[in-house]
A and B are shown apart, each in its own frame.
Chain A
Amino acid sequence: DTAVSQTPKYLVTQMGNDKSIKCEQNLGHDTMYWYKQDSKKFLKIMFSYNNKELIINETVPNRFSPKSPDKAHLNLHINSLELGDSAVYFCASSQVTGGGEQYFGPGTRLTVT
């Protein structure tokens, strides 16, 4: 199936831990994104990469570090997790940067205890 996939789907961890979320797309898109969706369903962009190059870096704590080993993968590493990091994290991709037609992954539900 052509799609955007994320692992893991659920992540429960304690404050202070470091964790990573992986994302892969096989749609041949050049641009990938990370979004955070809070408990009120507000979806906010965090990062955008175009062909492994960082394009958008919103006001996100530097505990969050994206890494793009190739244009089909965009991983998110989070250091020193805090309670406020609990949210659903979505990866997405699009044919062109900022393109309206973005394809989203299923999300990773992160719970920090």
Chain B
Amino acid sequence: QKEVEQDPGPLSVPEGAIVSLNCTYSNSAFQYFMWYRQYSRKGPELLMYTYSSGNKEDGRFTAQVDKSSKYISLFIRDSQPSDSATYLCAFGYSSASKIIFGSGTRLSIRP
């Protein structure tokens, strides 16, 4: 079983739709959970960061973590063409270590 699984997409939705992106993981040692956004030919940038189970909201973005089921989600409300990018889930350990990235979901928002 892979440590992190993420549907690669591509996912194409119309402007204004609610987008749901998901990752599952198998490593119970993960302590913090992140979503990075990567535009084409750019470096990833941190979008959301959370430690605990539950929801965290930031503007149109909501990150959801369910530690018991080992999945995380990112919801984008009122999606815009500028949200078109690859979204990477990422996981970290409590001890100073490395981050494990998902393979990314390519998202396209149609005007």
**Are B98's CB and A42's CB within 8 A?**
no
B57 is an interface residue with CB less than 8 A from chain A:
no
Known: A40-B103, A42-B101, A98-B96. 13 other contacts (CB 8 A): A4-B43, A40-B8, A41-B8, A42-B103, A43-B88, A44-B101, A45-B98, A45-B99, A48-B98, A98-B97, A99-B92, A107-B41, A107-B43
Q: Could you list some 29 contacts between A and B, CB below 8 A?
A: A40-B8, A40-B103, A41-B88, A41-B106, A42-B101, A42-B103, A43-B101, A44-B101, A48-B98, A90-B43, A90-B44, A96-B96, A97-B96, A97-B97, A98-B92, A98-B93, A98-B95, A98-B99, A100-B32, A100-B90, A101-B46, A101-B49, A103-B45, A103-B46, A104-B43, A104-B44, A104-B45, A105-B43, A106-B42
Q: Measured between alpha carbons, how far is A100 from B96 in the docked complex, in Å?
A: 10
Contact status B86-A41, CB under 8 Å? yes
Q: Which residue of B lies closest to A88 (CB)?
A: B41
- Min CB gap B49→A, angstroms: 5
Complex interface: chain A residues within 8 A of B65 (CB): none
Count of chain A residues with Cβ under 8 Å from any Cβ of B? 26
In whole angstroms, what is the CA distance A45 to B92 when docked?
12
Question: What A residues does B86 contact at CB under 8 A?
Answer: 41
B interface residues, how many (CB within 8 angstroms): 25
- Are A100 and B46 touching (Cβ within 8 A)? yes
CB-based contact A102/B46 at 8 Å:
yes
CA of A98 to CA of B97, assembled, Å = 4
CB distance from B2 to the nearest CB of A (A): 11
Q: Of all chain A residues, which has the CB nearest B31?
A: A100
Identify which of residues 31-78 in chain B touch chain A, using a CB-to-CB cut-off of 8 Å: 32, 34, 38, 41-46, 49
Chain B residues, Cβ within 8 Å of A110: none
- Residues in B with CB closer than 8 Å to A76 are none
